[in-house]
Structure 1
């Protein structure tokens, strides 16, 4: 099943006061194929509804709705509401089943989405997936997989498991900064948090990183997982993911100033990657 995503998406941070809705309109005008909202910001599902309704045609995805936080019934209600006003625009990204029996938990959650009236169809949902069994589940019970903290070699491996028909969106941290230390320091905090969460440490071990790399996180790990440098360097990294089988690369743009929304970076990347 394919969602027909364009090649370049972008993440959007939810901001107090609704400024993120203006950001979403800007990103749509710049030509990004999809706007994705990270699940850590979703204390409710309202931001997804708000962004869809603030924009015109751009696809809006959840990356991800944590299944252990939001009941399936809430996801069903969100999709029902948006299909009535903005059909086909919500991409239901699901995950967050860390802990015991994640595959069983996700299967049961998908069962509830299938059994709902109306259902949330498999071809409209994507699963956060890293390990081979979760990738297989994303292939078999969803439109495809969302991946994070991976390199292009992993993208090629995931594509082999997903097959040709499933959709794969690769979420990529981006820092438009050519100074190595400054670029690494910009992402060390958020990546250091993720490397201790859920299935990320195990997948990083599969990718060949040591316990010291993961605990750091080390410069080696950051350089392998982050697109940093000038526009040409970032464009080359994006192209590698697409060449290895990604349908969409989702840019998670990190400003070197944590108090600044990356408007300038979004524009520069759109000019280079979208035209």
Structure 2
């Protein structure tokens, strides 16, 4: 079996020590955090490092513009020592809303900032003293007091060719999001065959397709109207399919935007059905070139999230 990841904490839940410790027995190989407006990206992994020492742990992702480069290096070094050879640092540009409106940062030159941060982190986490002028920031004399014994692998959030090619050329892998199994082929074509490709997959274990599609349309409207995701799906070939949603959203008609999203798009982008159907759908992503699926279970009914996580594990 290849990799089989899960997102922690689970949707809207407090981190459950017993369930995290159970993940390896359920067939999960990885636990990946996220950082938007819930838990931060590092604390859950620090806890999981002790609760489930078999798991590989990763951030998917932490933004490069909400922490200074030195602080990001220090935090990554701490996790790398807590989980030697098991921690993967996932970084990315994030979005204008998260960086500027929520964190009082500057969302400027996102590609260059990500590239520069990657290059700085490579040097800093290797224990080098860094004095360098990058395109988006300057570093003068930074050196980790204690560099990690084993520097972590670094992977990049990448949606389109330029960032995907940077991930292939200079990072240890790429992280993507909001795509269908068929889309994986187009993303994979921008990467070397041996470059790890990671994707968070939203999974709803429910056979009530109408309920799932109503939930999925709300999620799609919230995400795919963000400029970086809109551009991603234009590149994937969905510009015409999504045009009515974007026009209604721009006119502040949220209900019309939801109605403009076709059911087939939800079926393409959100894994749903009973647990066996969901697992089979996830294997389609892997067959098309995804290295590491990272499941993000979304509750649709009263089924406890712990049961969903158990049901989605591999035999």
Question: Shared fold by TM > 0.5?
Answer: yes
Structure-2 separation of matches of 1:47 and 1:11: 10
- Shift in alpha-carbon separation, 1:198–1:27, aligned structure 2, 3 A: farther
Distance in 1, matches of 2:12 and 2:48, equals: 14
What is the 5 A alignment of 1:33-48? 33-40=29-36, 41-43=38-40, 45-48=42-45
Query: What corresponds to 2:219 in structure 1?
Result: 190
Give matches, 1:99-138, under 5 Å. 99-118=107-126, 124-138=153-167
* Aligned with 1:242 (options 281, 286, 296): 286
Give the Cα–Cα distance (whole angstroms) in 2 for the partners of residues 240 and 7 of structure 1: 14
Which of 131-140 and 77-86 deviates more? 77-86
Aligned mates of 2:228, 2:86 — CA distance in 1: 29
Partner SS for 2:2:
coil
Q: Give the corresponding residue for 2:16.
A: 20
1:268 paired residue number = 311
Residue 297 of structure 2: aligned partner? 253
For these two proteins, the number of residue pairs brought into alignment is 267
Distance of 1:56 and 1:225 partners within structure 2:
32
Taking the TM superposition and a 5 Å limit, the aligned residue runs for 1:173-184 are 173-184=202-213
Q: Calculate the TM-score normalised by the size of structure 1.
A: 0.86
Aligned to 2:6: 10
Cα deviation 1:145-180 (Å, max 9, x = unaligned): 111100112111111111211000121111111121
Partner of 1:76: 73
Query: For residues 186-242 of structure 1, what are the alpha-carbon distances to aligned partners after superposition, in whole Å with 9 as ceiling and x for unaligned?
Result: 333333322222411111222213222455351232121011112332123212111
1:72 to partner: Cα distance: 2.5
Farther-moved stretch of structure 1 (193-202 vs 221-230): 193-202
CA distance in 2, matches of 1:11, 1:116: 28
Moved more, 88-97 or 76-85: 76-85
- Structure 1: segments with no counterpart, 5+ residues: none
Distance 1:162 1:21 in 2: 36
C-alpha distance in 2, partners of 1:17/1:157? 34
Structure 2 unaligned spans of 5+ = 96-106, 128-147, 250-256
CA distance in 2: counterparts of 1:85 and 1:23, whole angstroms:
20
SS at match of 2:194: coil
**Normalized against structure 2, the TM-score is what?**
0.76
Please provide the CA RMSD for this pair. 2.6
Match of 1:212 among 244, 247, 251: 244
1:90 is aligned to 2:79: no
Q: 1:244 to 1:210 in 2, by over 3 A?
A: same
Higher Cα Rg: structure 1 or 2?
Answer: 2
Distance 1:236 1:31, change over 3 A: closer
The alpha-carbon deviation at position 22 of structure 1 amounts to 3.3
CA distance in 2 between partners of 1:193 and 1:263 (Å): 26
Deviation at 1:42, TM superposition (A): 4.4
Q: 2 CA distance for matches of 1:171 and 1:202? A: 18
